[in-house]
C-alpha cells in the first residue's frame, strides 16, 4: 500500500489502495483535521500572488445551505469544512477567485483563506482534475494550496446532525 507523509506532523500514513485515487499527488498532504488547521496557520499567501487571480461573481447551482454561514455550497463536505474553518477563525471566500491556466482553462479553488492559502475539498476527481491541479502548481508555485482528500471526510462529518450514513 502507498505511504504519504503528513506535511504538518511528519507522520507516515499508509493509504489503502482504494483511497489513493482521492489524493493529490502533486502537493502537500495532511493526515487529519488538526494538521490541516495547523498547516493553514503556518502558511502565508504572498500579497502579489493574488494579483494573478480573477475575481468571480458567485452564481452557481449549489445544493447545500449553511445556516451558520448563510452561504450555499456544492456539497455537505464543503459546507462542513467551511463551518470548521470559520469556527477556527479563518476568513474564507468560497469559489470567488479563479486562475487562468494555460490559454483556455480556469482553476477555481473551493476556498481562498485570506492571507494564508487556497483550499480544495476533493471527493472524486473529475476528468482532467489532477492534470489541472498539476498545471496550477506549475504556473503558480508561490501560492500555497492544500487539497483536503475524501479520506478525511469523517473528521468533518463527525457530530453533525444532518449526516445520513
Of all residues in the chain, the percent with pLDDT exceeding 90 is: 58
Could you read off the pLDDT of 35-57 as tens digits, one per residue?
999 999 999 988 888 888 888 77
Burial class of residue 58 in the structure, from the number of CB atoms within 10 Å of its CB (0-12 exposed, 13-18 middle, 19+ buried): exposed
% pLDDT > 70, the chain:
95
Domain that holds residue 31: 3-157
Total of domains in the chain: 1
**d(C-alpha 15, C-alpha 104), whole Å:** 34
Residue 81 has pLDDT above 80, yes or no: yes
Which residue has cell 482528500? 149
- What's the pLDDT at 147? 94
Tell me how far apart the 2 most distant CA atoms of the chain are, in Å.
44
Q: Is 151 among the domain residues?
A: yes
**Nearest residue to 97 via CA among 29, 134, 51:** 51
Nine cell digits for residue 87: 469556527
Domain membership of residue 13 (yes or no) is yes
Q: Are residues 110 and 119 in contact, defined by beta-carbon separation less than 8 angstroms? A: yes
pLDDT at 2: 79
pLDDT number for residue 32: 94
Q: Can you read off the three cell numbers belonging to residue 103? A: 490559454
Q: Would residue 164 count as lying in a domain?
A: no
In a domain, 162, yes or no: no
Cell of 28: 502537500
Q: Is residue 25 part of a domain?
A: yes
- Tens of pLDDT, residues 83-95: 999 999 999 999 9
Predicted model pTM: 0.89
Q: Is residue 14 part of a domain?
A: yes
120 occurs within a structural domain: yes
Amino acid at each position: 500500500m502507498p505511504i504519504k507523509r503528513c506535511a504538518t506532523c511528519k507522520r507516515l500514513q499508509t493509504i489503502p489502495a482504494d483511497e489513493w485515487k482521492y489524493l493529490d499527488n502533486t502537493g502537500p498532504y495532511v493526515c487529519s483535521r488538526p494538521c490541516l488547521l495547523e498547516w493553514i496557520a503556518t502558511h502565508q499567501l504572498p500579497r502579489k500572488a493574488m494579483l494573478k487571480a480573477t475575481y468571480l461573481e458567485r452564481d452557481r447551482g449549489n445544493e447545500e445551505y449553511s445556516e451558520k454561514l448563510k452561504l450555499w455550497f456544492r456539497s455537505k463536505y464543503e459546507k462542513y469544512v467551511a463551518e470548521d474553518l470559520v469556527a477556527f477563525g479563518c476568513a474564507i471566500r468560497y469559489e470567488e477567485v479563479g486562475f487562468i491556466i494555460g490559454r483556455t482553462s480556469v482553476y477555481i479553488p473551493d476556498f481562498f483563506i485570506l492571507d494564508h492559502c487556497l483550499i480544495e475539498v476533493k471527493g472524486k476527481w473529475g476528468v482532467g482534475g489532477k492534470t489541472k491541479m498539476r498545471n496550477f502548481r506549475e504556473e503558480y508555485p508561490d501560492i500555497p494550496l492544500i487539497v483536503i482528500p475524501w479520506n478525511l471526510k469523517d473528521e468533518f462529518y463527525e457530530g453533525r446532525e444532518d449526516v445520513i450514513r
